[in-house]
Amino acid sequence: MPADPQAARVWFEKAAARNDIRATASLGYLYREGIGIAQNDEKARTCFEKAASAGDAWSQDQLALMLAQGRGTPADPAGAKTWFEKAAKQDYAPAQYHLALLLLSPRSPEKNPDEAATWLKRSADSGHIDASHFYGSILYLGVNVAQDIPRAIHYFTVAARAGHAESMFLLGTIYAKGNGVARNGDRARFWLETAKQAGHADAARALAKLDEMTAPEKTGKPAAGEKNAGLSQAPVETPAGPKPFPSGLHQPHRPMSLNP
């Protein structure tokens, strides 16, 4: 049966009228995205507020996003922090990540980098892929935490294995450089090729550079150790965090599927 957003909206409205929290949250999603109904941020916020007040972590996170972004209401960073915290304390990993972004934003009066690092780690350890990449980045750079490249590689690897192209690329360049880890041309090539397949814009250039540095002499007989010669000159990119808050926020999935 094909998806029918308008029919779904009707059923969500009926269930929401009976105080079904998941239906109320889903109705808020439809209003915010304009799916099967005219887009309306104010009605979306009202739905999210009702579900959030009932303790729904997803709705708390969505309401906080709207407050942070000023959608359907004037921007309210303090209010956003309150609702992010409520969801984060329920171990909702996306809210933990979003709270960290809010606390790191230079535009936010709620800025608190030390607290942000704590929430970022909790989100990463809960399996949030963007948080794993970002936490790996601050460990790699030693920003707001003690620099720890082996642990950074761990978090980059977690994110890379889950499909995060930037983490794949960074692992490739780290292994090529041998920064905090033994140089390893095979691992560098594996991760750069994986990043290329994942669509990373700079992976092909880095692979070409790696090929240039590891190419044998024209005799065709590389000298001992030549395979890894020059890898110390391979480019290593500086890890980049998410885009500035709130544009870097990622919308979690809808709470209920619109598909039958």
Annotated domain spans of the chain: 127-250
Which of these, 13, 36, 37, 7, lies nearest to 25 by C-alpha position? 13
Give yes or no for a contact between 96 and 86, defined as CB atoms under 8 angstroms apart: no
256 burial via Cβ count (<10 Å: 0-12, 13-18, 19+): middle
Which of these, 189, 190, 196, 139, lies nearest to 166 by C-alpha position? 196
Give yes or no for a contact between 220 and 186, defined as CB atoms under 8 angstroms apart: no
Q: What is the 3-state secondary structure (H, E, C) of 37-63?
A: CCCCHHHHHHHHHHHHHCCCHHHHHHH
The CA R_g of the chain, rounded to the nearest whole Å, is: 23
Measured CA to CA, the distance from residue 128 to residue 116 in angstroms comes to: 15
- Which CATH fold would you assign to the domain 127-250? 1.25.40
Cα dihedral 141, 144, 145, 150, rounded to 10, equals: -20
Angle at 173 between CA 172 and CA 178, to 5 degrees: 105
Q: What is the residue-level pLDDT of the chain in tens, covering all 260 positions?
A: 567 888 888 888 889 999 899 999 999 999 999 998 999 999 999 999 999 999 999 999 999 999 999 998 889 999 999 999 999 999 999 999 999 999 998 877 878 999 999 999 999 999 999 999 999 999 999 998 999 999 999 999 999 999 999 999 999 999 998 888 999 999 999 999 999 999 999 999 999 999 887 765 333 443 333 333 333 333 445 555 444 333 333 333 333 322 22
Widest pairwise Cα distance in the chain? 80
